[in-house]
Chain A
Amino acid sequence: MADPFEVRMRFTSQLQHLNASVNSSQKAAHYALKYRDMDEDLHSCILEQLERNSMNNRANIMYFIEHLCDMAQRENHIEFVRMMQRDILRVVDAVAPSDGSGAANVKVVRRVLAGLQQKSILLPDTVLEIEAGLAERDTGARAGNALSPVSPNPKATLQHSESTSSLKVNGVGFTRLDKRQVEQRIEEDRERHKRLRESIWAVGIEGEGEFERLWEDGGDCGEDERVMGVEDGEERAVAGEV
């Protein structure tokens, strides 16, 4: 029997070192399921780390949650799922705080929620509810958005960024998120996107999925197609002469 303290420590460390790879998420999920008898403890680890770590790490943990729930469901240990259902609001608040510091994570939350809903881990109603809250956060952020001159008073913008930076950046003050973090996030998003694209082409075995997709991609016949046709025709004509 493993020492509960050690399990906790190790799991915490895994959460802290999650990266964008599916691999690292799955490894941590495996670990959690391996010590499922300590599920409550481990769940509290997740919440704890969510509230403690950097924006990027929170995003990674959010993606990890999807893996964990998925795996727990498959292995018939729905305790993890149940606890997550219970605490989902807290999780969302931690990943994309309403103070705007997690604005960059809003899209992450949305994506994971959609995934959870698809896997019937969350009810559509719950997701809708959360979405509504997120939208508010999102628009809140937009109103104070430096990019938008629509914003009535520039001062709000400044204040807003200040609050952002004071939370995120250690004393550098009036800049946006820490450069290194931003770059890391960009890379991680790309990595995730790459994984996503690996399966993007797949269609269900039933129905006319493949046909539909081809049909969709085919597009209309437009000027370009006409020009290409003409080019082909010219070549054919030359060929015919030969």
Chain B
Amino acid sequence: MNAYSPPYRQGSYPPQQSPQAQYYPNGQQSPYGGSQQMQPGYQNQPFRGGHSGYRGGHYGQPPDRRFSGSGPPPQPYGPTPTRGRGGHFQNLQWTANSASRGRGDSNQGNSAPHMQNSPPPQTVPSQANDDDDDDNPFRPSKDLQVEDEIAKEASMPPPRQNSDSSSKVSFAFKAKPAAPTLAKSPPDLTQRMKEPPKKENLLENMNVKAPSRPAENHAGHDRRDDRRERDYRDDRRDNRDYRDHRRGDYRDDRRPGRDQKRDRMRERSPEIIKEKKIMTRIKARPTLTTEFNQSTSVYYRKPGNESVVGSGTYGKVFKAIHVYTKNLAALKKIRMDGEKDGFPVTAVREIKLLQSLKHENVVALQEVMVEHNDCFMVFEYLSHDLTGLLNHPTFKLEHAHKKHLGRQLFEGLNYLHRRGVLHRDIKAANILVSSTGQLKLADFGLARFFAKRGKPDYTNRVITIWYRSPELLLGETQYGPAVDIWSAACVMVEIFTRHAIFPGDGGEINQLDKIYNVLGTPTRGEWPGLVDMAWFELLRPTERKPNTFVEKYQERLTPDAFELLQAMFMYDPSKRPTAGDVLEHPYFMTEEPAPRQAIELKDLEGDWHEFESKALRKENERKNQEARRAVRLEEHEREKAKRRASGSTTAERESKRLRPNSSHGEVGSK
């Protein structure tokens, strides 16, 4: 499916013109409508998606929806939250549709501000305006547009303010249909109409703005900002397209007529209002702190390694802050080195998958951006992960908290499995927890869609080995969601006891031994498929071991929790409960205490991820070592002193010897 490629292309080389191109056709508002549609160059970009959704009708849609009869003036930017799947259409920057689902809650409130913001508050006609002007029927011809673009790029490092507003839309509030905000939306609309279509204006404005840009902000950035601007509009369209596409073609037939009408309306209105330009509404330009101002990226991150919050084979994860929205983000840098075949297909897979997901317990991919020749996946930022939390020196989770975390874990899993996604890397370090106790599954680098029926055949080299289920360890390649359940059960034990239940040495053999030591060696009776495992003979245990799970864990768990874990740790994957079953288990449903969100986390200072806790551990180890070394050195010195005291001759010799060494000694003691 070419569904893959588009995001990339788009994301990485944002077609500058795309918005315009898109817009036109959009309502055919432009007098040039017809011809424009023909312009492949422009138009195509947005469609690269190759999405079937683009079937002809779609142009009309956005306006269609926006002005649809339902009365209230369109809330222009309230794209309905589409499941991320919609996202891939355009700019990856934008992708974030997926994100939109997760964040949905906040959107409503947010979109309103945005609307007010974007145009009016800005000092100068915001870029949004320029872009809006795309809508304008009086838009200059294509050539001019191009010039325009060029001009923008050259003369002014595009508008930061805009990026601000737009980014707000894009990131923060996943564009959502904010019904309540309708009242506020009109400004936006009018704004658009008032837009000065003239290039000159734009340029002037731009020039004014230019100086405020961060020094280094150049083409790369500008482009991004522009894009974002556009994106957000695109987004709306996308969503619709998407929906559209899902709905089927039948709509296509009616669209044209309606659209035209609407377009006509639109065409007219701009003229009327145009005189009333609000260019004068000057608002204090948002000022950036020097740090932000100097940031070469719209996502500011602390210099050096300070901003790293995770690292693995996939690359590094940075904590960053959006300089305008001040929203935190986690930037996952896609490793490109050693990629001979271009953009890594694993990353493509991960992005595509994430775009299809939207759930409160699944981390939201906000966008994908290219910067300085690096590609980043931009996620919402969560302060902690389970490993970090469980290793926290003082913070302790209460029973109700643990249950709440557990429930969220299985809610997330249940969602994934229902949507046909295997996570394949469930482990404490991949489970993020927000400072309000909300849990989200992260790191979909190994995830894949699975066939709910039919004969699957996947690689068994998945899941961090401590969390790997016995069937995978025994070579099974035809597995299903039960592998995630096993991992999740391991995580549950960790939540309860703070320790991994099967901490092996990294090899398959030892890992199986660890499992056998707790659960006993499996029998054919409990797992009929056992002997069909590819490496059953290869890894056959030498002795039978009894199940010690009861003695090891029964005491430490409530009866229902124990029973639930026992069920999830069934050797036979087909006997393990599904995520849905788990959620209906008495442990979650009836047993006291009832789950309670760990809002206490908001008082927890600092961010606690596996990465930091590892660093902390290392730091502590280093300190300990140093302390020990210091003690040793001290003893050594004392002994020397003693010896010196005991005989002056030896002391002399000693001191002589000591002198050249002394510098070393000092260094050592430091």
B residues sitting closer than 8 Å to A (CB atoms) are: 65-66, 68, 70, 74-75, 78-83, 177, 179, 239-240, 243, 246-247, 418-420, 451-454, 457, 459-461, 475, 477, 507-509, 521-525, 530-531, 534-544
Tell whether A176 pairs with B177 under 8 Å between CB atoms, given A150-B523, A189-B475.
no
Find out whether the CB atom of B542 lies under 8 angstroms from the CB atom of A242.
no
Find out whether the CB atom of B521 lies under 8 angstroms from the CB atom of A146.
yes
* Nearest 3 interchain pairs by C-beta: A219-B453, A104-B537, A103-B537
A residues sitting closer than 8 Å to B (CB atoms) are: 103-104, 106-107, 141-142, 145-150, 154, 157-158, 161, 165, 174-177, 179, 182-183, 185-186, 189-190, 193-194, 197, 200, 213, 216-220, 222, 224, 227-228, 231-232, 235-236, 238-242
Find out whether the CB atom of A241 lies under 8 angstroms from the CB atom of B70.
yes
Q: Which of B418, B477, B530, B537 is A193 in contact with, Cβ under 8 Å?
A: B477
Tell whether A147 pairs with B541 under 8 Å between CB atoms, given A179-B509, A242-B177.
yes
Q: Which of B419, B508, B531 is A228 in contact with, Cβ under 8 Å?
A: B419
Find out whether the CB atom of B83 lies under 8 angstroms from the CB atom of A242.
no
Most buried by A among B80, B82, B461, B477: B80
Min CB distance A90 to B, Å, is 21
Find out whether the CB atom of B452 lies under 8 angstroms from the CB atom of A224.
yes
Min CB distance B138 to A, Å, is 27
The dominant DSSP class at the A interface is helix
A157 to B544, CA, bound (A): 9
Q: List 12 A-B contacts (CB under 8 A).
A: A103-B537, A107-B537, A147-B524, A147-B544, A157-B543, A161-B542, A177-B538, A219-B452, A222-B452, A238-B177, A239-B240, A242-B80
Find out whether the CB atom of A235 lies under 8 angstroms from the CB atom of B80.
yes
Min CB distance B233 to A, Å, is 14
Find out whether the CB atom of B509 lies under 8 angstroms from the CB atom of A183.
yes
Q: Which residues of A contact B507 (CB under 8 A)?
A: 179, 183
Find out whether the CB atom of B542 lies under 8 angstroms from the CB atom of A238.
no
Residue in A closest to B80 when the chains form the complex, CB atoms: A239
Min CB distance A163 to B, Å, is 12
Q: Which residues of B contact A179 (CB under 8 A)?
A: 507, 509
Q: Which of A176, A183, A241 is B542 in contact with, Cβ under 8 Å?
A: A176
Tell whether A186 pairs with B538 under 8 Å between CB atoms, given A146-B521, A235-B243.
yes
Find out whether the CB atom of B418 lies under 8 angstroms from the CB atom of A227.
yes
A161 to B507, CA, bound (A): 21
Min CB distance A144 to B, Å, is 10
Q: Which residues of B contact A217 (CB under 8 A)?
A: 451, 453-454
Find out whether the CB atom of B66 lies under 8 angstroms from the CB atom of A232.
no
Find out whether the CB atom of A146 lies under 8 angstroms from the CB atom of B544.
yes
Q: Which of A142, A193, A194, A218 is B453 in contact with, Cβ under 8 Å?
A: A218
Find out whether the CB atom of B538 lies under 8 angstroms from the CB atom of A235.
no
Q: Which residues of A contact B457 (CB under 8 A)?
A: 197, 200
Q: Which residues of A contact B70 (CB under 8 A)?
A: 240-242
Q: Which of B68, B419, B521 is A242 in contact with, Cβ under 8 Å?
A: B68
Find out whether the CB atom of B535 lies under 8 angstroms from the CB atom of A241.
no
Find out whether the CB atom of A149 lies under 8 angstroms from the CB atom of B525.
yes
Find out whether the CB atom of B523 lies under 8 angstroms from the CB atom of A148.
yes
Residue in B closest to A145 when the chains form the complex, CB atoms: B540
Extra contacts besides A104-B535, A232-B83 (19): CB < 8 Å: A146-B521, A147-B522, A149-B544, A161-B540, A175-B542, A182-B535, A183-B507, A183-B508, A186-B475, A190-B459, A193-B460, A216-B453, A217-B453, A218-B453, A228-B418, A235-B80, A239-B65, A241-B179, A242-B78
